[in-house]
Amino acid sequence: MTIDTALSELETLLGKRLSRSKSDLDLHGASETHFAPAPPDAVAYPENTEEVSQIVKICAAHGVPVIGWGTGTSLEGHALAIKGGVTVDFQRMNKVLAVNAEDMDVVVQPGVTRQELNEELRATGLFFPVDPGANASIGGMASTRASGTTAVRYGTMRDNVMALEVVLADGRIIRTGSRARKTSAGYDLTGLFVGSEGTLGLITELTLKLRGQPEAISSAVCSFPAIGDAVNAVIATIQMGIPMARIEFVDALTAKAFNDYADAGFPEVPHLMVEFHGSDEGVKEQAERFGEIVHEFNGSDFRWSAKTEDRNKLWAMRHNAYYACVAIRPGAEVVVTDICVPISRLAEAVEETAADIAASSIPGPIVGHVGDGNFHSSLLVERGNAEEMAEAKRLAARMAERALRLGGTVTGEHGIGMGKLDYMQAEHGDGWAVMSELKRTLDPQNLMNPGKMVRMN
């Protein structure tokens, strides 16, 4: 068997760092959302780029798929081995290779998580700002073009990855970009690989931009009588140019979930949770200006705090929103949605979505990185209930159609994986065909994370 030959060669290369244990295969065949398990034939744990290249070459020689794996926190089934093959788990490639404090950049291996990285950076006065909530690996975050709560201020992975080392489908190792802050030297290969979900190659090293830790940070939370008021307050805030570090929306159902899960004591109405970064004076001024906007849009319960423990509690709660929401319906399967629209269309997008969910048979709390025009609903489906699953998928499809109708995108930050493949043609038209042509060029055998992002047949 071809796969057996490949696995035997890989075992020679990696020894015990090639795993075929059932528990390992099951772990790497599962995802956090509703997709059916799809375990690989083996899991490889490389320790350096050269090994990754060898793994890819062996797999290429035998026609075996290769799937990258960070921490397994993706939401659209990105890392499922739906055609079998070898999952490359980067957990042993988790080093911070160089902190260039003067240049405010850092060189890391893909397996380091964002929290590990920021822990290592703490003493330097610098930090890596992209924060998708989950403690994801940097390689995974780059591969899905992750963003999250801080993108409104600091941008997404697209904006914060300066350079990459990539192993291509034929095992070639290339470097893209450099540590220079800008370049006009050739096609933007860094940008091409960021967000490519492992379908064009495996990222084995990343150079990231860092930011100075703010002199002062404060946070605030406030409530609104209706979704439209909260969203319109966000729009006004962005348009006034207040440099919000975070501006997050949660709906009434999520507020209730926070109360049940974390004893939050929130009124069960829509809320905004915000954070300000700057000087002591600047943070205060931002909070005051934001407070005026809140008032103008009928907000209340405006609670402002410069205390670290209050802030940590607030964002821990926000980061656990997914789990708090799932706890509304214990054991539920989750269809997670993720659309992003121009901010002028945000209020109608959220309101239409909320009305659509309210008219359905299943709960779907809404949260969002609304400063970017991006929001999610976690549609909670009774496990094994095919009718509800179909209803959830109809709701998700209508959200995607709504995003496109309003000039937006079917995914702001979760990516395509398997879950959003059906919308690629509608969003990109012939552009999707161009993506397939690029994929075919760089991965003619369709072995790099096959079945995700593009269709090859």
> Which residues ranging from 278 to 297 are in contact with its own copies (CB under 8 A)?
282
What is d(CA 146, CA 132) in angstroms, rounded to the nearest whole number? 6
Assess contact for 99 and 106: CB atoms under 8 A: yes
Strand segments, DSSP code E, in 79-228 are 86-89, 96-100, 105-108, 126-127, 161-168, 173-177, 201-209, 211-212, 216-223
Among 20, 179, 307, 405, binds its own copies (CB under 8 A): 179
Chain centroid to Cα 229, Å, comes to 27
Of 110 and 373, which CB lies nearer to its own copies in the complex structure? 373
Among 109, 137, 374, 449, binds its own copies (CB under 8 A): 374
CB 13 → its own copies: shortest distance, Å? 22
- Please report, for residues 85, 303, 304, the alpha-carbon distance to residue 445 in angstroms, rounded to integers and kept in the order given: 13, 56, 55
Among 409, 447, 448, 450, binds its own copies (CB under 8 A): 409
What is d(CA 410, CA 171) in angstroms, rounded to the nearest whole number? 32
Residues whose CB falls within 8 Å of the CB of residue 318, separated by 6 or more in sequence, listed in order? 133, 149, 248, 250, 273, 367
CB 429 → its own copies: shortest distance, Å? 7
Of 84 and 191, which CB lies nearer to its own copies in the complex structure? 191
Contact stretch for its own copies (CB under 8 A) within 30-38, 80-88, 109-117, 192-200: 192-200
Q: Give counts: helices (H), strands (E), the chain.
A: 17, 19
Q: Is residue 171 left, alpha or beta, with left meaning phi > 0 and alpha meaning psi from -120 to 50?
A: left
Does the protein bind its own copies through residue 397 (CB under 8 A)? no
Residues whose CB falls within 8 Å of the CB of residue 408, separated by 6 or more in sequence, listed in order? 339, 340, 341, 342, 345, 349, 373
Element (H, E) at 287: helix 280-296
Among 120, 311, 427, 445, binds its own copies (CB under 8 A): 427
Of 225 and 282, which CB lies nearer to its own copies in the complex structure? 282
- Please report, for residues 133, 212, 275, 319, the alpha-carbon distance to residue 223 in angstroms, rounded to integers and kept in the order given: 22, 31, 15, 19
Does the protein bind its own copies through residue 13 (CB under 8 A)? no
CB 145 → its own copies: shortest distance, Å? 4
Amino acid letter for position 13: L
Interface of this chain with its own copies, residues 15 to 44, rule: CB under 8 A? none
Among 411, 418, 446, 448, binds its own copies (CB under 8 A): 411
Interface of this chain with its own copies, residues 50 to 109, rule: CB under 8 A? 100, 102-105
If binding means CB under 8 A, how many residues of this protein chain bind its own copies?
81
- CB count in 10 Å sphere of residue 359: 8
Does the protein bind its own copies through residue 115 (CB under 8 A)? no
Among 288, 292, 429, 456, binds its own copies (CB under 8 A): 429
Element (H, E) at 214: none
What is d(CA 294, CA 306) in angstroms, rounded to the nearest whole number? 18
Contact stretch for its own copies (CB under 8 A) within 254-262, 329-337, 360-368, 437-445: 437-445
Tokens 């099951």 appear where? 26
Does the protein bind its own copies through residue 434 (CB under 8 A)? yes
Of 151 and 220, which CB lies nearer to its own copies in the complex structure? 151
What is d(CA 347, CA 337) in angstroms, rounded to the nearest whole number? 17
Does the protein bind its own copies through residue 223 (CB under 8 A)? no
Among 342, 355, 358, 390, binds its own copies (CB under 8 A): 342
Among 185, 263, 309, 359, binds its own copies (CB under 8 A): 185
Tokens 């034929």 appear where? 170
The 138-177 site mask, x for binding its own copies (CB under 8 A), equals: ------xxxx---x----x-xx--------x---xxxxx-
Does the protein bind its own copies through residue 452 (CB under 8 A)? no
Tell me the Cα Rg of the chain. 22
Does the protein bind its own copies through residue 418 (CB under 8 A)? no
Interface of this chain with its own copies, residues 224 to 263, rule: CB under 8 A? 235, 238-239, 241
CB 111 → its own copies: shortest distance, Å? 21
Among 120, 188, 348, 352, binds its own copies (CB under 8 A): 188
Contact stretch for its own copies (CB under 8 A) within 19-27, 52-60, 245-253, 366-374: 366-374
What is d(CA 27, CA 243) in angstroms, rounded to the nearest whole number? 41
Assess contact for 150 and 246: CB atoms under 8 A: yes
CB 306 → its own copies: shortest distance, Å? 20
Q: Max alpha carbon distance in the chain (Å)?
A: 69
C-alpha dihedral sign at 248, 251, 255, 261: negative
Of 123 and 185, which CB lies nearer to its own copies in the complex structure? 185
Contact stretch for its own copies (CB under 8 A) within 43-51, 56-64, 260-268, 412-420: 412-420
CB 433 → its own copies: shortest distance, Å? 8
